[in-house]
A and B are shown apart, each in its own frame.
Chain A
Amino acid sequence: MYTALQIETPRTIPNTKMRVAILEDDLSQTELLSHWLQLAGHHAHAFEQGAQLLRSLERESFDVLVLDWNVPDLNGIEVLKRVRSRLHSAIPVLFVTGRNREDDVVMALREGADDYMVKPVRRLELLARLEALARRGRHGQQQADVIELDVFKVDCQTRTVLRNGKAVDLTAKDFDLSVLFLRNVGRLLSRGHIRETVWGPNAVVTSRTLDTHVSRIRNKLGLTPDYGWRLAAVYRYGYRLEQLDPSAARPRDGESKAA
C-alpha cells in the first residue's frame, strides 16, 4: 500500500500572524497542530490543562483559542464558560474535539464557541477556519497589505508609513510595532503578544526595550490625545491603541509635534 500526504502551502493573509492558544492533552495532537500553525507562520501556545490556560489568559492576549473537550481538570466547555463569563472575553473560540454528536456541537456553540471541528481535522481546513475566526475577531479591521486609517497610510509591501501624506521615519521594529497596533485598534495586547509578533518567539526583549519602542512610535506617529489617539499602557499587562472621538480631537495642524 502506498500513501502520499501532500503538503500544500496555504494562502495566508500577509503580515497577519496569529497567536493561537491550544488546549489539548494529547501530546501527539498538540505537536501536530503546533507544527501546522508554525508552518503557516503563526505562533502556537499549548496548554494541557484548562486551569493553566485560564491563568495565562489573565496576563496574555491571543487571537484565537483552540479547545479540546476532554482534558484533565476543567474540560473545554468549562473553560469556554469561564472565558465568556468571568474573563468577559469575546476572543474567537474553535472547538477541535473527537466528540461528534449533534448535541455536543450544539452545546459548544450555545456556550459561545464560534466554530466546531471533529477530529481528525484536515490541515488546510483548520488553518482556513482559524484565519476566518481571527479576521472576524478583528471586527473587520484592515488586514490588507495597505492600511488606511485616519491620517495614516501604511504599505506593508514597501514598509512605509505616511502620516498626512508625509513619510514617517521608522526603524524596522518600529514599523512592525506600528502595524501591529494599527491592525488592532481598541484591542488590549499583552506584552508577550507584542514581543512575539514584533521580535519573534525566541527573542529576549526586556520590558524597558519594549516600552522604549512604544514610546518612540507614540511620538513619531502622534498617537496622543492631541491628534485623536491614545496609546495607553495597561499596568502589568500590555498596551492598547485607541482612536478617540474624532470630534474631540484638535485640528491636525501640528505636524511639528509629531514625526
Chain B
Amino acid sequence: MVQAEGKEAAAERSRIVVCLDKDLEPIVTRFLGRKRGELPVLRDAVQARDFEKIRRLGHDLKGAGEGFGFADLSAIGAQLERRAHARDGKAITEQIEAMEAYLAAVEVRFS
C-alpha cells in the first residue's frame, strides 16, 4: 500500500501539464498519437542501424514539437538528429527513452 502510494506520488511529480487552446485539440491529439507510434519505429531503426530514418524522424520532431507547445520534444528531436549524424546508437537509445518518458508523462489540458 505504502509502495503504491509512493508510485502514485512519483507519477504525480513527474507529470508534465501543458495547457493549450481548445481549437488545437484535434491536431495536437493526432500529433501525440503519431509520435507515440514512432517510438517502435525508432527502436527498430536503431537495431537496423538505419541512421537516416532516425535523422529524418528526429528532424521532423525538432521542427514540429515546439509549435504544438512541446518544446522538450523539439529538443529531443534535435538530439536524435545530431546523434543520428554521429551514428551513436547508445545516445540515440537514451533519447528514445527520454521521448517515451515525456510522452508518458505529458498531460494536455485544453481550454
The answer to whether B17 touches A35 (Cβ under 8 A) is no
Instruction: Give the contacts of B1-57 with A (CB-CB under 8 A).
Output: 15-21, 23-24, 27, 30-31, 34
B22 (CB) vs chain A CBs: closest residue: A7
The answer to whether A26 touches B74 (Cβ under 8 A) is no
A123 / chain B contacts, CB cutoff of 8 Å: 67
Interface size class of A (residues with CB under 8 A): 20 to 34
Task: Select which of B24, B31, B69, B71 is within 8 A of A28 by beta carbon.
Answer: B31
Q: Mark B74-105, 1 if CB is under 8 A from A, else 0.
A: 10000001000000000000000000000000
A34 (CB) vs chain B CBs: closest residue: B27
DSSP class of B's interface residues: helix, strand, loop or mixed?
helix
B23 / chain A contacts, CB cutoff of 8 Å: 7, 35, 39
- Nearest Cβ on chain A to B66's Cβ, whole angstroms: 4
The answer to whether A31 touches B65 (Cβ under 8 A) is no
Q: Mark A94-127, 1 if CB is under 8 A from B, else 0.
A: 0000100000000000000000000111110000
The answer to whether A121 touches B30 (Cβ under 8 A) is no
A-B Cβ contacts below 8 A, count: 72
The answer to whether B63 touches A5 (Cβ under 8 A) is no
The answer to whether A31 touches B30 (Cβ under 8 A) is yes
The answer to whether B62 touches A119 (Cβ under 8 A) is yes
- Nearest Cβ on chain B to A36's Cβ, whole angstroms: 8
Interface residue? A235 (CB, 8 A): no
The answer to whether A3 touches B63 (Cβ under 8 A) is no
Most B Cβ at <10 Å: residue of A5, A29, A121: A5
B81 / chain A contacts, CB cutoff of 8 Å: 98
The answer to whether A26 touches B64 (Cβ under 8 A) is yes
CA gap between A90 and B91 in the complex, in Å: 45
The answer to whether B34 touches A27 (Cβ under 8 A) is yes
Interface residue? A32 (CB, 8 A): yes
A5 / chain B contacts, CB cutoff of 8 Å: 18-21, 24, 69
CA gap between A35 and B69 in the complex, in Å: 14
Q: Which residues of B are at the interface with A, using a C-beta cutoff of 8 A?
A: 15-21, 23-24, 27, 30-31, 34, 59-60, 62-69, 71, 74, 81
With A2-B19, A3-B19, A32-B68 given, can you name 20 additional A-B contacts, CB distance below 8 Å? Answer: A1-B15, A2-B16, A3-B18, A4-B18, A4-B19, A7-B24, A26-B60, A26-B63, A27-B34, A28-B68, A29-B63, A29-B67, A31-B31, A32-B27, A39-B23, A98-B59, A98-B63, A119-B62, A120-B63, A120-B66
18 A-B Cβ contacts within 8 A? A2-B18, A3-B18, A3-B19, A4-B18, A7-B20, A7-B21, A26-B63, A26-B64, A27-B34, A29-B60, A32-B31, A32-B68, A35-B27, A119-B63, A120-B62, A120-B63, A120-B65, A121-B67
